Amino acid sequence: MRGPVTRPKLAGTAPGPLARRTAAGARHYSLAVDRFVVRSGAPLAGEVRVQGAKNSALKLMAACLLTEGSTRLCNVPRIVDVEVMSDVLTAIGASVARRDGAAAGDDCATRTGPELVVTVPERCTPIAPYELVEKMRASFVVLGPLLARHGVARVSLPGGDDFGHRPIDMHLRALAALGAEFGTEHGYVEGRCGRLTGARVVLEYPSHTATDNVLMAATLAKGTTVIENAACEPEVQDLAALLVGMGARVSGAGTSRIEVEGVEELRPATHVTVADRVEAATFLAAVGLAGGDVHVVGARDDHMEMLLAKLSSMGLELEATGRGIRARSDGRLAPVDVATLPYPGVATDYKPLLVTMLSVASGVSIVSENLFAGRFRYVDELRRMGADIRTEGHHAVVRGVGRLSGAPVRAPDIRAGAALVLAGLAADGETTVSGAEHIDRGYEDLAGKLRTLGADVARADA
């Protein structure tokens, strides 16, 4: 153990700019408006910039716990999940400040989005409370950094979007291989260790968050850790880049075998968050549904190769420009078969967007979900709009119709909610998408960005 760790009571923290309170003082991470109102219109045109990746920014924020001092994270989107993670870090003892301007000539001057400064004290309160962790599954990744730096952690069992059973056992087994011991009590995972020790860790599945957790923990472990069957996503590579900037010794990120040579300590760093490939996919899908000519600035074609191949097969004309991806479409889509797979395959986050596009394609498509069984729950909402989709187990048969019909629908999660907003671009009449708080978790001003392209999309009070 690296010295005693006290467990003082957690002080209340002020809500972030996207949070609001009830009269009783409870946090609610949603905006005051909760519906999208969408009408179809002219083809889309113009330029839209991609935000920093949600699935990277949250892990980068957790990595700041590995060192004392102030780490600067650039291109961090203004989304609810970032606000939740900010409050998790604040509860642990860090401070999180958002800055919209960078001094000329500094490392963040070329960033494409706002900046967070995460300042971590010498000693933290290694407790991630239930009321925050249950709102967002990704916050469970504070477990690895807390164990590595403080030798103890008490983290609530995670919540987040309900896609079916996603156990945390893989995280615990991986960290146990490095020397941590765990127990569960009153809804919390409690971990303890001396200094972690490097080991060979074989993940039973290339889980993104499990890879992140053990990768961060291994940076301060004694000796060398090898992670086999590691996740290969660009966001894992982004986390590794930050860790290297902090003084970690990491090789192989982006492959299925990551090697980490532990160091005694890390230092604060400045890092620019990678572009959000799922938001980029959302705008490409919008062009497919509404037609038009749009330049998605900041999109990385090398991070989306399999998806771009599928979109091209559906009839989109795609061009890597050096600044992003340009998409053109006349709105006529062809059917394709799709199966979700770990990266570099088609990500499960893309699937609601693809199913929505295929619902108006000129033929029959089969979509197979190989990762999370619960991710067809938005299909009933598309059926309300006239889509012809039949699901059986992990598969969906999508028979394209000529046009969808506007209807009131509800967003069940972040990506499905965005897909339902896009469905309104290919529907007669008006579509209202309630449950907008889900979409706000992952998208910064989705309605506003779509409007800059000419879409008729607005936010409305309940």
**Residue-level pLDDT at 131:** 87
**Residue-level pLDDT at 272:** 97
**Residue-level pLDDT at 107:** 56
**Residue-level pLDDT at 8:** 31
Which residue is catalytic, options 34, 87, 161, 276? 161
**Residue-level pLDDT at 76:** 97
CA distances from residue 290 to 127, 138, 308, 333 in whole angstroms, order as listed: 47, 33, 18, 11
Which parts of the chain sit beneath pLDDT 50?
Answer: 1-32, 103-105, 109, 160-166
For the chain, domain boundaries? 35-49+275-460, 52-272
Same fold, 35-49+275-460 and 52-272: yes
- Choosing among 3.40.50.920, 3.65.10.10, 3.30.470.30, 3.40.1500.10, the CATH entry for 52-272 is 3.65.10.10
Catalytic-residue membership of 169: no
Instruction: Supply the pTM of this predicted model.
Output: 0.90
pLDDT of 412-425, one tens digit each? 999 999 999 999 99
**Residue-level pLDDT at 271:** 98
**Residue-level pLDDT at 158:** 74
- Choosing among 3.20.20.80, 3.65.10.10, 1.10.10.10, 3.30.450.20, the CATH entry for 35-49+275-460 is 3.65.10.10
